[in-house]
Amino acid sequence: GETASIGEQIDYTITGIEPGAGTTELARDTLEEYENLEGWNLLESSTAGMLGALEEAVKNEEPIIITGWTPHWMFTAYDLKFLEDSKGTFGGSENVNTIVRKGLEEDMPSAYTILDRFYWEPKDMEAVMFDAQEVPFEEAATKWIEENADKVAEWVEGVEKVDGDEIELVSTPWDTERASGYVVKAVLEQQGYNVTLTPVDPAVMFQAIATGEGDASVAPWLPSTHASFYEKHKEDLVDLGENLKGTEIGLVVPSYMDIDSIEDLQP
């Protein structure tokens, strides 16, 4: 008989992550935009659930399609590929930006200057995430700061120290943002700030900065992943631009699967 199609083998289901993730929103759009994905479903669960399903599939060399992103250790642990996205529904290569509440520049000029200067490369973020598989993120961040004292010195050069001023950083609950969040937290603490770092859903993060409940975030993935939240709140926040360039999200499969593009999937 005929070999079952990939769709039949995986029950026309894409293994997704948290309902509140930007990736989930763009995956829902993707299912609507591609006619060949009619009848396909997105399983919304959690990052841990997705990674568990991925591990299981790879172990058995079975087909699986996940919503994935880079930087992430999944690409080092397994041989994976992004499916080509001819309609661009996942937005291609993007960045992580820094946003702050209105008035922060006047209220906390030292923190504002450091946040404005904060910029690093995917390899830096990956180093923190790699170490954090063995030690807490806080420790991995401190180690990175020690090993990159030159870079950190540029961020804080000429910045006046403060005496315990409180600053609220808002972030999201993924490792990429744990890495950046803990690094920025530690740098601000060295400068005398009393820092809280709170992980929330992306929608809540943007809202917190727009209402001034939170002071700053280094976690927005733009211009695509968090586009809808950004559009909603952009008039009420200050965008300080990229702090990292070259992230990507999309549909991801193990390399042993014989497809390359979202359009290869059959309804």
Residues in the site for ligand PBE, rule: CB under 6 A?
17, 21-23, 69, 172, 174, 176-177, 202, 221, 225, 249
Residue placing its CB nearer to ligand PBE in the complex, 17 or 209: 17
Q: Cβ 72 to ligand PBE, closest distance in Å? A: 8
Q: Cβ 179 to ligand PBE, closest distance in Å? A: 11
Q: Cβ 225 to ligand PBE, closest distance in Å? A: 5
Greatest Cα-to-Cα distance within the chain, rounded to the nearest angstrom: 74
Q: Cβ 151 to ligand PBE, closest distance in Å? A: 22
Q: Cβ 65 to ligand PBE, closest distance in Å? A: 16
Report the amino acid identity of residue 71. P
Residue placing its CB nearer to ligand PBE in the complex, 21 or 186: 21
The two tokens of residue 82 are 């992004």
Q: Cβ 207 to ligand PBE, closest distance in Å? A: 14
Residue placing its CB nearer to ligand PBE in the complex, 174 or 193: 174
Residue placing its CB nearer to ligand PBE in the complex, 69 or 230: 69
Residue placing its CB nearer to ligand PBE in the complex, 97 or 142: 97
Report the amino acid identity of residue 178. R
The two tokens of residue 129 are 């995430």
Nearest Cα to Cα of residue 88 among 250, 202, 221: 250
Residue placing its CB nearer to ligand PBE in the complex, 22 or 214: 22
